[in-house]
Amino acid sequence: MARNREVVILLLDVGPSMHGVLLELVYNRSDEVGIVLFGTKGTCNELAKDIGGYKHVTVIHDIKVVDEGTAQALQNLPLGSAPGDFLDSIVVGLDMVIRKFGITKGKRRLCLITGAQELLRDPPEGTKEDQVDTIANMLKKHNIKMECIIFREPGVHHNDVMEENDRLLHQFRNRSVAKVVQVDNPTSLLGALKTRNVLPVTVFRGDLEVNSNFKIKVWVYKKTAEEKFPTLKKYSDKAPPNDKFASHEVKVDYEYKSVVEPDKVVPPDQRIKGYLYGPQVIPVSNAEWEAVKFKPEKGVKLLGFTDRSSVPRHQFMKDVCLFIPEPGNMKASLAVSAIARAMHQMNKVAIVRCVWRQGQGNVAIGVLTPNISSVNNIQDSFYFNVLPFAEDIREFQFRSFSSLPSSSQPTEEQQEAADNLVKMLDLAPPGREVLKPEFTPNPILERFYSYLDLKSKQPDANVPPLERSLRRITEPDPDVVGQQTQLIQNLSKAFVLKDNPKKKKARTQDMLAYTGAGDQAKSVEDRVLENTHPSTENVVAIRDSNPVQDFEAMLAKRSSSTWTQKAIGDMQNYIAALLQNSSDGGNYQKALECFASLRKACIIEQEPQEFNQFLTKIYERLKEGDAAKFFQLLSSKNISLINKEEAPDSDVTEEMARSFYLKREKASQ
């Protein structure tokens, strides 16, 4: 067996208690799969043939590489009519692995899915608990892990049989050979069924340095990881059609040639990376890069403690890691447990500096949150989350409704309707949790693999409709929507949508009034727009005829990333030219309109510094000359610096903006 190949034995309960969810199982790829059903009417397994017993357990798929037959077997599961014994199915699955692989090492896993509602048969010798211990010892001996998924629909009455079965399954967990979870709906069952078992690999092994004299040996594992979309490789059809061993891979090779001699290929040892610095290319060798690289020392250092409320959860970045004491180190276990429980009691978290590997180029600053265990055989630990640096935070600050006029503020009815809408969208209301992350499959990946399987069989097949199990994840829950019908109606009544008629410019309104109404007015307006602004797509500069419209057209064009800066720069140059060439204030009105348009654009484009620097420079340069009256006009129209309330990137307060012209005049006096 290949080293990275995994063997999975699916132990499926097909008894009467599981009939409603068998059709919800969705096929996913594994390396080698075997399928065992229990609760079937008949019996078919090797143990029953050799030694007898193990009734109502049927092997419908031997351990082999997944193929189309595996998918068909999962999609056409029979409905059993006999009570199922999950202990018998575990023994049969264990026997299948031992018969095929013996004592060889490898990744092996049993996945048990059952309702655990049927009475188990008494063993020939000893008790059921003794039988569980014997099976657990065999699982440990052959290094086989097991997952137990218990399906119980809401409202099912627990009886003595179910409690006994739960106790036996949790006994496997206490022996550290199985993971036991319970789900209450088919969607959670689909999410709990892990198709790929990832072996944990340590990110860090070393000391958690509390201070120079106090160090704790810890191991760090990844707790969560992003499930990335599979990379699709290019397929080559150049291989001979009769070649069964053709890989059909596309390989890309690059050649580097000299500019001086285009036909000469430059070997790798004669190449060096170059970086643009203005018009020049600066060569930087690998040795120079290594010399200036930041190389911190490997280690985890405690920086201090803080209240949990001072570290907001929405600032956590990347994947979550788990800090555990070094296995077998009792002193480390006691130290981690003591610190974790003290932090939990005082509602504190720890800030740490982490360098996972020697020579790592970056340093992670993160927070340790205590994880107090409630299970006897699991130690206390810490969860680690990476915190952002100042430049990583992108917060959008919105103005408060209290700063708006009373006519624009929401009424009590509107506020209540909005609050109720937010409460309705809560996925974790008191007493229940919808779409638990650990039990919710990724609908995009499920959809992708299902369609990929269909396309392999039917190349011309269209995208099928969404499956029922995935619709429950991606679409609103009809039960929730039905219960909140009155709330949604109240929301629509509280917020009435109205048309916002566009205000026409003064020149257009005057011309409409002069020429009259109707089609005649419309034709005159169209003629004026055609003459003054023939095409916004062809505007590349600000013209004297209508500078504001040209400026807005340049902003809307956005043919490149630098187009906005070009439009703002051209408008600044145009305003400066207007003020310098103005005689007796003839250009003041046009300059005022351009200033207002430039200020509005800089707020929308989040460029407050551009406007503030321009206004400051031009005011300092022209305030003593003939343009002093123009700045008085700007002040009367409240056209001043852009403050923080208008654009978060500005470093100007409202008070500074209001007193801009006044302070400048006092300073000059």
In 43-131, where do the E strands start and end?
57-65, 107-114
Tally of helices (H runs) and strands (E runs) in the chain: 22, 15
pLDDT class of 344 with cuts at 50, 70, 90 = very high
Q: How far apart are CA 474 and CA 558, in angstroms?
A: 35
Task: Write the single-letter amino acid at 612.
Answer: N
Q: What is the pLDDT of residue 512?
A: 38
DSSP helix/strand/coil, 589: helix
Separation of CA 132 from chain center = 41
Is residue 2's pLDDT more than 50?
no
Q: How far apart are CA 143 and CA 6, in angstroms?
A: 13
Q: How far apart are the first and last CA of the chain?
A: 90
Is residue 463's pLDDT more than 50?
yes
In 78-234, where do the E strands start and end?
107-114, 145-151, 178-183, 202-211, 214-222
- How does pLDDT run across 483-495, given as a tens digit for each residue? 788 888 888 888 8
pLDDT class of 470 with cuts at 50, 70, 90 = confident
Stretch among 89-98, 148-157, 349-358, 619-628 having the lowest mean pLDDT: 619-628
Q: What is the pLDDT of residue 235?
A: 82
Most confident of 263-267, 373-377, 654-658: 263-267
pLDDT class of 497 with cuts at 50, 70, 90 = confident
Average pLDDT, the chain: 81
Give me the CATH topology for the region 547-659. 1.25.40
The two structure tokens encoding residue 72: 């068909």
Domain boundaries of the chain, sorted by first residue: 6-193, 202-226+300-391, 441-491, 547-659
Mean pLDDT to the nearest integer, 314-322: 91
- How does pLDDT run across 421-448, given as a tens digit for each residue? 888 888 777 777 777 777 787 888 888 8
Is residue 527's pLDDT more than 70?
no
pLDDT class of 356 with cuts at 50, 70, 90 = very high
pLDDT class of 624 with cuts at 50, 70, 90 = confident
pLDDT class of 395 with cuts at 50, 70, 90 = confident
Q: Quote the percentage of the chain above a pLDDT of 70.
A: 88
The two structure tokens encoding residue 299: 């280690």
Stretch among 58-67, 532-541, 543-552, 583-592 having the lowest mean pLDDT: 532-541
Place of tokens 């935070």: 393
DSSP helix/strand/coil, 401: helix
Mean pLDDT to the nearest integer, 151-173: 86
- How does pLDDT run across 182-239, given as a tens digit for each residue? 888 777 777 777 666 666 789 999 999 999 899 999 999 998 887 777 777 888 888 8
Q: Which residues contact 189 (CB under 8 A, 6 or more apart)?
A: 21, 24, 25, 113, 149, 151, 183, 439
Q: What is the pLDDT of residue 196?
A: 62
pLDDT class of 291 with cuts at 50, 70, 90 = confident
Radius of gyration of the chain (CA): 36
Domains 6-193 and 547-659 share a fold: no
The answer to whether the CB of 473 falls within 8 A of the CB of 441 is yes
Is residue 522's pLDDT more than 60?
no
Q: Quote the percentage of the chain above a pLDDT of 90.
A: 14
Q: What is the pLDDT of residue 534?
A: 45
pLDDT class of 583 with cuts at 50, 70, 90 = low
Mean pLDDT to the nearest integer, 374-385: 88
pLDDT class of 653 with cuts at 50, 70, 90 = confident
Is residue 18's pLDDT more than 70?
yes
Is pLDDT larger for residue 509 or for residue 21? Answer: 21
Is residue 151's pLDDT more than 70?
yes
Q: What is the pLDDT of residue 353?
A: 95
Give me the CATH topology for the region 202-226+300-391. Ku70; Chain: A; Domain 2 (2.40.290)
Torsion angle of alpha carbons 554, 558, 564, 568, nearest 10°?
0
Q: Please check whether the domain covering 6-193 is classified as CATH 3.40.50.410.
A: yes
Mean pLDDT to the nearest integer, 589-599: 88
Q: How far apart are CA 252 and CA 668, in angstroms?
A: 68
Q: What is the pLDDT of residue 26?
A: 45
Is residue 372's pLDDT more than 90?
yes
